């Protein structure tokens, strides 16, 4: 059976193989760490993109996504139950620009093509490494996409966040969970501590300078104050983040460090970015 990461790579490659979609999409998140940086320390099933501009004709855009994915899987699978929606569905205290897109679909082996729809749903294909038959793609808007890299995967050029941008956005995402952030969700993002640890195992002055230049635009994109970097010295905040550590441990492919090790690494990096070291 093919592992979920093989399917994720096929999805990413097929989307960037399309000229129109490749002009808009930028790969980020855990899949970018794996495909662009070769960081494979934990299993990530996220398929996350940023959009270079607003997706205004969303019906037309997602019809294209569906068509591209159906063509990609047509030799072995039937793609069905494709749907998309704004995320989040309802706004609480978020500003007007606060939303992205979520699209989902399922795959059914071609041998099941004659099955009724409900049976296809019950027996939809589940790749190795996951427990759900639903493939999810998330697309963020209002993100800073000014520091990118290109990598060739299966002969296709993939546009993705640079290593510096991957790290700075993960730092910002953690800051967004702090109660002092106006639109805080206050949820655990422990995986970001682990990812930042692996992104910073090789750093030099050029990398740090690049990160410093990215701090302001990346934080401004979501109206996050730079002062929220103090969150990593807030013990109550760190205790909340630690609650998700066991769940992250279950996804790690290598020996884990204590949560405090990842915290101290992040504190060290933040101090370097602030020029305190």
User: Domain limits of the chain?
Assistant: 4-140, 163-274
Q: In what order do the strands lie in the sheet with 156-161?
A: 77-87, 100-109, 135-140, 48-51, 25-28, 156-161, 148-153
Tell me if 5 sits within 8 A of 16, measured CB to CB.
no
**How many Å apart are CA 70 and CA 272, to the nearest integer?**
46
Q: Which two tokens stand for residue 181?
A: 């952030």
Give whole-number Cα distances, 55 to 50, 84, 183, 202, 223, in Å. Answer: 11, 13, 23, 36, 21
pLDDT by position in tens, the chain (length 277): 688 999 999 999 999 999 999 999 999 999 999 999 999 888 888 899 999 999 999 999 999 999 999 999 999 999 999 999 998 776 667 787 778 999 999 999 999 999 999 999 999 999 999 999 999 999 999 999 999 999 999 999 999 999 999 999 999 999 999 999 998 877 789 999 999 999 999 999 999 999 999 999 999 999 999 999 999 999 999 999 999 899 899 888 888 999 999 999 999 999 999 986 5
């Amino acid at each position: 059976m093919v592992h979920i990461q093989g399917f994720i790579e096929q999805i990413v490659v097929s989307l960037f193989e399309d000229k129109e979609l490749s002009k808009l999409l930028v790969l980020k998140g855990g899949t970018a760490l794996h495909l662009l940086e070769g960081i494979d320390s934990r299993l990530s099933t996220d398929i996350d993109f940023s959009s270079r501009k607003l997706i205004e004709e969303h019906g037309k855009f997602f019809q294209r996504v569906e068509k591209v994915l159906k063509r990609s899987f047509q030799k072995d699978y039937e793609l069905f139950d494709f749907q998309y929606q704004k995320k989040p569905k309802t706004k609480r205290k978020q500003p007007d620009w606060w939303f992205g897109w979520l699209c989902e679909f399922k795959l059914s082996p071609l041998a099941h093509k004659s099955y009724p729809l409900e049976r296809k749903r019950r027996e939809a294909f589940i790749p190795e490494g996951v427990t759900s038959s639903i493939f999810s793609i998330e697309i963020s808007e209002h993100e800073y996409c000014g520091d990118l890299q290109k990598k060739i995967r299966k002969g296709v050029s993939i546009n993705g966040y640079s290593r510096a941008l991957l790290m700075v956005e993960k730092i910002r995402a953690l800051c967004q969970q702090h109660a002092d952030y106006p639109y805080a969700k206050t949820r655990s993002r422990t995986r970001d501590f682990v990812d930042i640890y692996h992104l910073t195992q090789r750093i030099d002055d050029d990398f740090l300078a690049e990160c410093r230049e990215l701090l302001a635009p990346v934080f401004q994109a979501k109206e996050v104050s730079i002062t929220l970097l103090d969150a990593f010295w807030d013990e109550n905040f760190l205790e909340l983040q630690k609650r998700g550590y066991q769940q992250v441990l279950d996804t790690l492919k290598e020996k884990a460090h204590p949560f405090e090790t990842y915290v101290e690494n992040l504190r060290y990096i933040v101090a370097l970015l602030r020029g305190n070291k």
